[in-house]
Amino acid sequence: MQYINKEGRTEIDRRFGEQVKEESGAEIDRCYQCLTCSLGCPSAFAMDYLPHQIVRMVQLGLRQEVLTSSTIWVCADCQACASRCPNEVDLVGMMDFLRETSLREGLAKERAVADFHRIFLGNIERWGRQHELSLIIKLKLKTRDLFSDVPSGIKMLKKGKLKLLPERFKEIKNVRDIFRRAEK
């Protein structure tokens, strides 16, 4: 596991573990590194650090390594880890908090995934539900990859799989209230 930064120094943020616990609610102190989370993780093959390693790195205060890891963006929020953890460590809440912190501090390594995350949530906040066509268009403009999926996009439009206009959820006020509370 890489604990050394680019300048060859190990950086420790002693408050990091406490901050993650307080703000995500994940009781990372309970983790005894049994590996159950990592062994059942369907995205593990694409991660630079496995889920149990991220927990350990958070405990150790390796803030920079955690917030620049690909793991937090490759995580699919499937809940397999949290539901199997013998100590009920909320890894999903932890990953969510790490992603938001990484975004806020401009440290996100997987730019396209980070852009997808931001646009996806932006649409939900705006309409209360997802509008796939605008999600795709915004992501294409953001990543400047304009033409790679045009043929499949046209097919989906023809089959009615993509709606031209977004529909607003009736209880949009409640959805926006959730976002406001989450921001606080």
Closest CA to 92 of 104, 75, 106, 105: 75
Return the residues of window 141-170 that contact ligand SF4 according to CB under 6 A. Answer: none
User: With binding defined as CB under 6 A, does residue 76 bind ligand SF4?
Assistant: yes
* Residue type (1 letter), 101: T
User: With binding defined as CB under 6 A, does residue 20 bind ligand SF4?
Assistant: no
CB of 103 to ligand SF4, least distance (A): 17
Closest CA to 58 of 40, 37, 41, 80: 37
User: With binding defined as CB under 6 A, does residue 33 bind ligand SF4?
Assistant: yes
CB-based contacts of 166, cutoff 8 Å, min separation 6: 123, 126, 127, 129, 131, 134
CB of 26 to ligand SF4, least distance (A): 9
User: With binding defined as CB under 6 A, does residue 119 bind ligand SF4?
Assistant: no
| Contacts for 90-93: CB closer than 8 Å, 24+ residues apart | 90/24, 90/25, 90/26, 90/27, 91/26, 91/37, 91/51, 91/55, 93/24, 93/25, 93/26
CB of 45 to ligand SF4, least distance (A): 10
CB of 82 to ligand SF4, least distance (A): 6
| Of the residues 62, 81, 108, 119, which one makes contact with ligand SF4 according to CB under 6 A | 81
User: With binding defined as CB under 6 A, does residue 2 bind ligand SF4?
Assistant: no
| Of the residues 5, 10, 79, 174, which one makes contact with ligand SF4 according to CB under 6 A | 79
User: With binding defined as CB under 6 A, does residue 31 bind ligand SF4?
Assistant: yes
User: With binding defined as CB under 6 A, does residue 80 bind ligand SF4?
Assistant: yes
- Which residues of this protein are in contact with ligand SF4, per CB under 6 A? 31-37, 41-43, 51-52, 55, 75-81, 85-87, 89, 91-92, 95
